Structure 1
Amino acid sequence: MNTVIETLLDHRSIRKFTEKPLTNEQIEMIVKSAQMASTSSFIQAYTIIGVKDRVKKQKLAELAGNQPYVENNGHFFVFCADLHRHKVAGHMEDTDVTASIESTEKFLVAAVDAALAAQNASIAAESMGLGICYIGGLRNNIEEVGRLLNLPDYVIPVFGLAVGEPADRSSVKPRLPLSNVYHEDQYEQNEKAFNRGLEEYNGVISAYYDLRTAGKRKDRWTEQMANMLKEPKRLHMKEYLEKKGLMKH
């Protein structure tokens, strides 16, 4: 095992940071690391917005569901799927690229590119001894977030990333069994084995929550997922994406 793998296996979400801001050097290194992530066909279809303005961070925390760690951290990054610069590139080359960048395929490419860049950024930050927390809650009020950040058409905020010096390190949360995640040659559909793995994982997660909350919480993973998914959320996303010029076909 090397130090990179040790960093990966030691990941946990940090939701309480000290007030120490990241240095410009740290921010630059995190962004440069993000830029070295793999990108489909060299398209680099993402933009990273660093938010330092205190008022804006407070507003983003509110829009994300009143999550205090969106406001209180060393630095807050917003990762955007961005096909705006590709529209500009088309204009520069006197080529109409509209049909392509408005396709579902290119939105998927942009969203994946943003996620890959963010994961590189996260690993870079954690390798520096910093903590991170992804913030999907920005999509709760995505149109207001877009206005706050002055995002043009073909650019949407996919998620935020809070980074900073951890004030409290939670324990590592156990992941699904390898047998439920990794299949060889085909999707394994042995339901008994599949369910058995999930039942074992339910016990692991229930014990994790029991220990972490001193007995106040013992929910199982399948119970947690069923409760979260029984009602669809953020149904405004499709309309917003189309309004921004994305996923039209």
Structure 2
Amino acid sequence: MNTQKDLINLLMQHSSTRKYTDQPIDEKTKQTILACSQMAPTSSYLQAYTIIEVTDPAKRDELATISGGQEWLKKAPLTLLFCADLHRSEKFLTVTDPKVFQNTELYTVAVVDATLAAQKALIAAQSLGLGGVIVGGVRNEMDQLADLFNLPERVMPLFVLCLGYPAEQLPVKPRLPQQFIVGTDAYPDKETDLTSYNQEVSNYYDQLTNGADTFNWVERCTYALEQKPRYEVDEFVKKAGFLKN
């Protein structure tokens, strides 16, 4: 990648990659991805996240099972679990109010830090010719995840980033029209008609699946919320020592 245009094209052409070639990711490439991940912005310099590379086939199998059978968790050349982590901060920082590690602000900081780090890792990987997918389905069984990776208190597993050299390139999924997302000096709450966007999403999946799936944006997002409410995440968050105030 040599030009500003290359970078913009990379960002604009993002699509999730779930099928990979047999080409391994060499150590130098992996370390470059991890180093870029660590250069993500971080609130108050806390770096409140942890990355766990998953190499054990048995643990990969368990991740795939927990997530509902997502095979790419087993087959991706590089599998990284990203966690929100206040354990390290609590261990090394001496503060006058120890309850600060239980408040909503630091929970938010840790989740945002981990998410920004994962996005940096994905962009770095894509710039090196790899593709990837972020899997939130591992949150289906958070207690199991915590046991599987020996997570201490105040560490919350968020998602897995799977990376590898793409065996296929899917078309870019259409995003919401910008007027729904971007406001000027106020929340953008004037747009209500999703007809055109719903049709665009329906057409996208119709072509992608040869007519097997024509659900639009409203239909598929409603289904996702009804099928995966994950109320148990709230219980895990508090049990792990977050949000106790």
Measured against the shorter chain, the TM-score band is over 0.9
C-alpha distance in structure 1 between counterparts of 2:226 and 2:32, whole Å:
41
The answer as to 2:63 corresponding to 1:60 is yes
Distance apart, 1:232 and its partner CA: 6.1
Among candidates 48, 65, 72, match of residue 69 of structure 1: 72
Identity level (%): 39
Provide, for residues 98-133 of structure 1, a one-character-per-residue CA deviation record: whole Å limited to 9, x for no partner: 301111111111000000000000000000110110
**AA of the residue aligned to 2:101:** I
Do the aligned residues in 2 keep the contact of 1:87 with 1:97 (CA within 8 Å)? no
C-alpha distance in structure 1 between counterparts of 2:126 and 2:78, whole Å:
14
In the alignment, what sits opposite 1:20?
A: 23
In the alignment, what sits opposite 1:247?
A: 243
Provide, for residues 59-115 of structure 1, a one-character-per-residue CA deviation record: whole Å limited to 9, x for no partner: 11111111100010110000000001111113xx4x455301111111111000000
Note the 1:88-107 alignment, pairs <5 A: 88-90=91-93, 93=94, 95=95, 98-107=98-107
C-alpha distance in structure 2 between counterparts of 1:171 and 1:247, whole Å:
40
Provide, for residues 114-165 of structure 1, a one-character-per-residue CA deviation record: whole Å limited to 9, x for no partner: 0000000000000011011001011001111111111111111110000001
Distance apart, 1:227 and its partner CA: 2.4
The answer as to 2:86 corresponding to 1:48 is no
C-alpha distance in structure 1 between counterparts of 2:206 and 2:105, whole Å:
43
Gaps of 5+ in 1: none
Do the aligned residues in 2 keep the contact of 1:135 with 1:161 (CA within 8 Å)? yes
In the alignment, what sits opposite 1:78?
A: 81
In the alignment, what sits opposite 1:145?
A: 145
Larger mean CA deviation between 106-115 and 211-220 belongs to 211-220
Larger mean CA deviation between 229-238 and 33-42 belongs to 229-238
Question: What is the number of equivalent residue pairs in this alignment?
Answer: 242
C-alpha distance in structure 1 between counterparts of 2:186 and 2:179, whole Å:
13
**AA of the residue aligned to 2:82:** F
C-alpha distance in structure 2 between counterparts of 1:96 and 1:146, whole Å:
29
Do the aligned residues in 2 keep the contact of 1:138 with 1:160 (CA within 8 Å)? yes
C-alpha distance in structure 1 between counterparts of 2:86 and 2:126, whole Å:
29
CA change 1:248–1:24 in 2 (3 A) is: same
Q: CA RMSD in A?
A: 1.4
Gaps of 5+ in 2: none
In the alignment, what sits opposite 2:129?
A: 129
C-alpha distance in structure 2 between counterparts of 1:63 and 1:140, whole Å:
6
Q: TM-score, normalised by structure 1?
A: 0.93
